[in-house]
Amino acid sequence: MTRPDVIFADEPTGALDSVSGQELLSFLRRCVDELGQTVVMVTHDPAAAAHADRVVLLADGQVAGELADPTVDSVLEALRGLGA
């Protein structure tokens, strides 16, 4: 498949340096914006999550919240709220 409808990315920046990680996140963003692909990304990195259109928060295997148009700060705040 050269252009799948859906791209699954499991911790895509986990083993990358910051420059390579940013390049990969920018590439995934272009896949969505320019090619109309859907990216489903799992990450623990708030900066990576902030590249998304929507963030779904999970806690103990359950949906624990959702953010539209996330920022690094809004993701961090939501994550802090999960521990409360």
- For residues 7-27, one letter each, b for 16 or more C-beta atoms within 10 angstroms of the residue's C-beta and e for the rest, the string is bebeebbeeeeeeebeebbee
Question: 57-71, pLDDT tens digit by residue?
Answer: 999 999 999 999 999
82, 65 contact by CB (below 8 A): yes
* Domain contains 65: yes
Q: How many domains does the chain have?
A: 1
Q: Which domain holds residue 51?
A: 6-82
Q: Decide if pLDDT at 83 tops 80.
A: no
pLDDT tens-digit readout, 1-43: 688 999 999 999 999 999 999 999 999 999 999 999 999 999 9
The model's pTM is: 0.86
Residue 1 in any domain: the answer is: no
Give a yes or no: residue 75 inside a domain.
yes
Q: Could you give the maximum distance between any two Cα atoms of the chain, in Å?
A: 44
